[in-house]
Amino acid sequence: MYEDKAHGFGKLVSKIGNALFEGHFVFGCMHGPGRFIFQKGDIFQGEWFFNKILSGNYYDEKLKLFIKVQELHIEFPPVRS
This prediction has a pTM of 0.73
Task: Flag whether 65 is in a domain.
Answer: yes
Total domain count for the chain?
A: 1
Cα 39–chain centre separation: 13
Cα angle value 26/46/48 (rounded, 5°): 30
The pLDDT tens digits for 27-59 are 888 999 999 998 889 999 999 989 888 899 999
CATH number at 46 reads 2.20.110
Domain that holds residue 61: 8-75
Task: Flag whether 51 is in a domain.
Answer: yes
Task: Flag whether 25 is in a domain.
Answer: yes
Task: Flag whether 69 is in a domain.
Answer: yes
**C-beta of residue 66 within 8 angstroms of C-beta of residue 59:** yes
